[in-house]
Amino acid sequence: MKEIVVSGIRPTGNLHLGNYFGALRNFVKMQEDYDCRFFVADLHALTTQPDPKTLHINAKNILAEYIAAGLDPEKATIFVQSDVPEISEMYLLLNMHVGIGELMRTTAFKDKARKALGIKTDSVSESDDEAIEHQIIGTESNKRVNAGLLTYPTLMAVDILIQKASKVPVGKDQEQHLELTRRFARRFNSFYNTDLLVEPQNFNFGAAAVKVPGLDGSGKMGKSEGNCIYLIDDEKVMRKKVMRAVTDEGPKVPDSPMSEPIANLFTLLELTSAPDVVEHFRRAYADCSIRYGDLKKQLADDIAAVTAPIRQRIMDIQANDEFLSRTVSRGAERARAAAADTLAQVKQVMGIKKF
Ligand code: TRP
């Protein structure tokens, strides 16, 4: 039996090169050797109250993008969270063993609660925590932190535990949620004196996760930074973004250290170009003959070689509603079979029985 891998993707925007090199490419490799179950976390997206008109479109986009980038419905189970009602049912049950205190102390919750209440995120202090707590229980404000946001970790734990996954590939920002998942599983098992729930581990597949930098000179590529190249960008748009990437005045003396913007361009080049191409530009940098325009043109060509075929497949899939609906209904069927098993066991140990 293959080990079970579960990961969820919130449908909140298009996929960019950071997602592709940071996560997706690994998912594509994992599906060869593991029993992978990847899903669109549309219920999680509801915690930040998206426009109903865009929720479904975003879910569809993300499915098309994942499949276009190499997730194979023949190898992995690909499904939509809301197609598996067992998840919602077990979420209610697991919540009975989750403390509101531990949920309120979760970093992601505090960040999102601050956002919902309009408290500036740059001043992360004790008084903020107090302000949040005050406003959460206060009745004056028409701003509110919804209970779904608070119980986000319960829902995520159920996504994982209901599939009995032992491995969960997630980034650093989700490690705390994974830690809570383990804690809830342990607590449930010990309360009912069972070994029903499996404690999952973070799956650091292959080498250390690659950090994909953005085009704005500093930091990593991220939706909210506005420094992204999206898989769906058409080639002209992508080229424009690359040609406008931040650089510096260029090396003045041989073997100068690289500034961050230039180092970032080299990181992107390493991800997309052949080793001898990278070497050529490194040498040109070292002997001060480099022209950033040439480097960018090369980078744009090599990014296009990665993204152009993916983009074409995204559009083909988008145009084929029948394929997508067949794919997710097959995925849901498989995901539900496993989920129904776990749910039945959970109900049994909790004492919920048919009359
Ligand atoms: N919380 C995850 C994120 O924001 C998405 C997610 C939901 C998830 N359920 C999951 C990830 C289960 C892994 C496993 O990225």
Q: Which of 38, 44, 152 to mutate to test the pocket of ligand 1 (most atoms within 8 A of CB)?
A: 44
Average pLDDT over all residues of the chain:
93
Residue minimizing CA distance to atom 11 of ligand 1 = 8
pLDDT of residue 133: 78
**Cβ(44) to ligand 1 under 6 A?**
yes
Residue with tokens 């090199």: 21
Judging by beta carbons within 10 Å of its beta carbon (0-12, 13-18, 19+), is residue 275 exposed, middle or buried?
exposed
Are the C-beta atoms of 81 and 87 separated by less than 8 Å? Answer: yes
Catalytic option among 112, 164, 241, 296: 112
Say whether pLDDT at 239 is over 90.
Answer: yes
**Cβ(11) to ligand 1 under 6 A?**
no
Say whether pLDDT at 124 is over 80.
Answer: no
d(CA 185, CA 97): 10
Instruction: State mean pLDDT over 332-338.
Output: 98
pLDDT of residue 123: 58
**Cβ(7) to ligand 1 under 6 A?**
yes
**Cβ(41) to ligand 1 under 6 A?**
yes
d(CA 61, CA 295): 32
Say whether pLDDT at 137 is over 90.
Answer: no
Least confident piece of the model among 8-12, 59-63, 189-193, 246-250: 8-12
Least confident piece of the model among 5-9, 114-118, 253-257, 290-294: 114-118
CB count within 10 Å of CB 260 equals 13
- Distance of CA 10 to CAs 1, 41, 43, Å? 29, 5, 9
Catalytic option among 75, 115, 211, 223: 223
Least confident piece of the model among 71-75, 121-125, 301-305: 121-125
Q: Which of 151, 162, 175, 177 to mutate to test the pocket of ligand 1 (most atoms within 8 A of CB)?
A: 177
| Multiple choice CATH, 235-316, 3.40.50.10300, 1.10.10.10, 1.10.240.10, 1.10.3720.10 | 1.10.240.10
Judging by beta carbons within 10 Å of its beta carbon (0-12, 13-18, 19+), is residue 121 exposed, middle or buried?
exposed
Instruction: State mean pLDDT over 328-353.
Output: 98
Instruction: State mean pLDDT over 258-282.
Output: 97
d(CA 350, CA 346): 6
Instruction: State mean pLDDT over 105-121.
Output: 87
- Tokens in use for 157? 């734990």
* Domain boundaries along the sequence of the chain: 4-98+151-211+320-350, 235-316
- Distance of CA 209 to CAs 22, 144, 201, 225, Å? 6, 36, 16, 20
Q: Does residue 223 carry a catalytic annotation? A: yes
Say whether pLDDT at 192 is over 90.
Answer: yes
How many Å lie between the centroid of ligand 1 and the Cα of residue 37?
12
Q: How is domain 4-98+151-211+320-350 classified at the CATH fold level?
A: Rossmann fold (3.40.50)
For the chain, the three-class secondary structure string (H helix, E strand, C coil) is: CCCEEEEEECCCCCCEHHHHHHHHHHHHHHHHHCEEEEEECHHHHHHHCCCHHHHHHHHHHHHHHHHHCCCCCCCCEEEEHHHCHHHHHHHHHHHCCCCHHHHHCCHHHHHHHHHHHCCCCCCCCHHHHHHHHHHHHCCCCCCCCCHHHHCHHHHHHHHHHCCCCCEECCCHHHHHHHHHHHHHHHHHHHHCCCCCCCCCEECCCCCCCCCCECCCCCCECCHHHCCCCECCCCHHHHHHHHHCCCCCCCCCCCCCCCCHHHHHHHHHHHHHCCHHHHHHHHHHHHCCCCCHHHHHHHHHHHHHHHHHHHHHHHHHHHCCHHHHHHHHHHHHHHHHHHHHHHHHHHHHHHCCCCC
CB pairs under 8 A, 24+ apart, for 305-311?
Answer: 305/272, 306/17, 306/20, 306/272, 307/17, 307/229, 307/231, 307/233, 307/235, 307/238, 308/235, 310/20, 310/65, 310/68, 310/69, 310/231, 311/68, 311/231, 311/232, 311/233, 311/234
Q: Does residue 112 carry a catalytic annotation? A: yes
Say whether pLDDT at 13 is over 90.
Answer: no
Residue minimizing CA distance to atom 7 of ligand 1 = 8
pLDDT of residue 122: 62
How many Å lie between the centroid of ligand 1 and the Cα of residue 168?
9
What percent of the chain is modeled with pLDDT above 90?
Answer: 83
**Cβ(180) to ligand 1 under 6 A?**
no
Q: Does residue 220 carry a catalytic annotation? A: yes
pLDDT of residue 119: 81
Least confident piece of the model among 133-142, 230-239, 271-280: 133-142
pLDDT of residue 207: 56
How many Å lie between the centroid of ligand 1 and the Cα of residue 65?
17
